[in-house]
Structure 1
Amino acid sequence: MPINNIPDLYLNNPSLRPDLFVYDFKMTEETIKAKVNLKMHMFSFLQTGKKQVHFSNDAVLVDNKHSLLIKKGNCLWSELLDTEDTYYCKLLFFSEHRLHEFLKKHVKDKEPHQETPLYFAIENDTYLTSYLNSLATIITAPPTFMDDLLSVKFDELMLYLINKYKSDFESYLLSLITKEESSFKNNIEENTYSTLTLEEIAFLCNMSLSTFKRHFIKTYNVSPGKWLRDKRLLKAKELLEKGEFISSDIYLDLGYNNLSNFSTAFKNKFGMNPSEV
């Protein structure tokens, strides 16, 4: 699966990537788990459809009742049609340089919370509706005038969200410029029981599959495939022993494409069929 470099994919000249950039994204077919290398921080103002984003240690699903602010880096995202025929999302990208300028003017002597997520969910309201309408007007202006107006509109948005979400939003903004990354082990253990493939988990750890496997074996002294398979089967046995689920309820959530493969792996591991637990 190719990696989509965003927003470079939307720019006429990616080498001249601006500090602020607005793009109207529309599509009529769903995209499932596209690999994205997000090169700028991004507001995603969803208008129609649904968006799901997988990070190294979390995932989020939103519809047009919420917008997202997403930290630059690797992620997987799915863009889903809802009742409408067209998926539509207005995207606002901003650089770390532009964020530094804003923080220097408006946020003084603060530190981010120790654990800050890779996204910030924003509840849509009448202000944001009006704001997006104004952005639509700005992007039709002459380039120089548009750049100046967009800079003002960026500060306006940030100040509004600080007023709305207080220190939580300030802390998130500060976290966007820190260099600390989640540890490799935390990334792995957050996705132990997910439906992501090894290749997808490696991508979220910013590694090639071969580098990921070498690093995994060095850390856990076992191959990632065996480690994940054993962990997921032990989880399956635990769920079945509680008597609240049967095999058909859980196999998809534990990364198996079909019930037959799950049952075979379970029997090979425990010497019994799942139905015998």
Structure 2
Amino acid sequence: MPAQQKDILQQIHHSCYFTRSRSGEQFVAEHAFSYQIAGTLIVDDGTKEYVINEGSFRLTRRNHLVKFVKQPPPNGEFKALSVYLTQETLRNFSIEFGYKAEKHYQSDPVIQLQPNPLFKSYMESLAPYQQEAHSINASLQTLKVREAILILLQTNPQLKDVLFDFSEPGKIDLEGFMNKNFHFNVQLNRFAYLTGRSLAAFKRDFEKIFHVTPSRWLQHRRLQEAHYLIKEKGKTPTDIYLELGFEDLSHFSFAFKKTYGVAPSKI
């Protein structure tokens, strides 16, 4: 498959799950225009929880850390359709049509959009691109992504300050950011990028503030929170290990016992 067509196919993405629920977390690298076809999506950015119900539309902003839970409807399946608006696509659109951000748009990571007939008809028009993507011309698919941008701008003109803001994260308070986001299981270079630093500068600044390496601090902070949630809130290890950034239960239990001298299940 040609590289250009492969890139476009990755911009139109359909999610479908039959399982009871699916949890996870991610770094949102690109803006995503999405339609919740069936089921419920719960998104948590560490500060606020967003409940996305069936039939709703949203724009998820880039450069954010989020946790999510995908819940299928009773006896049904979770379905969502997303169009990813990459920085390259938006830059080319900006050059061609003269759009540019006039100010930094302050808003939540998830912008819930008011229903509009244009949204529904557009998303329905993407059905063939999921069923016959291998045979649809890449140029035609490019037009569908550009159509999404035009529809967003026509229905919500203020979104130009979101879509065409190509600035990278500026240098921010590292201590406050880490205390808010320690429970996200992402690589250190993601934390560095979101705090406006190179990886080397992030590690250097981190040790000046916390007097320990980022990896050691993250494990200690997560275990500290785990101990509090188990002892004071009555949570079980299986309730919290993923929520706190541990990849598996056995690793969490081993680290907890090594730190506190007792298995988390015995607290």
What is aligned with 2:24? 33
Q: 1:220 to 1:45 in 2, by over 3 A?
A: same
Report the Cα distance in structure 2 between the residues aligned to 1:111 and 1:81, rounded to whole angstroms: 38
TM-score by length of 2: 0.61
**How do 1:1-277 residues align onto structure 2 when only pairs under 5 Å count?**
16-18=6-8, 21-29=11-19, 30-35=21-26, 38=29, 40-55=30-45, 60-73=50-63, 75=65, 76-104=67-95, 105=97, 107-108=99-100, 110-113=102-105, 115-137=106-128, 140=132, 142-144=136-138, 146-147=140-141, 149-163=143-157, 167=158, 169-175=159-165, 177-181=166-170, 183=172, 184-191=174-181, 196=183, 199=185, 205=191, 216-221=206-211, 224=217, 225-226=219-220, 247-248=233-234
User: In structure 2, do the counterparts of structure 1 residues 20 and 158 end up closer, same or farther at CA, with 3 Å as the change threshold?
Assistant: farther
Deviation at 1:153, TM superposition (A): 1.8
Would the alpha carbon gap of residues 54 and 153 (structure 1) be closer, same or farther in structure 2, given more than 3 Å must change? same
Runs of 4+ in 1 over 6 A off after TM superposition: 12-15, 211-215, 251-255
* TM-score, normalisation: structure 1: 0.59
Structure 1 gap ranges (5+): 1-11, 237-245, 258-277
Report the Cα distance in structure 2 between the residues aligned to 1:82 and 1:155, rounded to whole angstroms. Answer: 30
Report the aligned-residue RMSD.
Answer: 4.7
Once the two structures are superposed, residues 91-110 of structure 1 have per-residue CA deviations (whole angstroms, 9 ceiling, x without a partner) of 11222122123334253561
Unaligned 5+ segments in structure 2 are 194-199, 250-267
Give aligned pairs, total. 231
Separation (CA, whole Å) in 2 of partners of 1:34 and 1:109: 29
Amino acid at match of 2:163: L
Structure 1 counterpart of 2:257 = none
Instruction: Determine the C-alpha separation between the residues in 2 that align with 1:82 and 1:121.
Output: 20
Distance across 1 between alignment mates of 2:107 and 2:28: 20
Q: Is the 8 A contact 1:65 1:123 kept in 2?
A: no
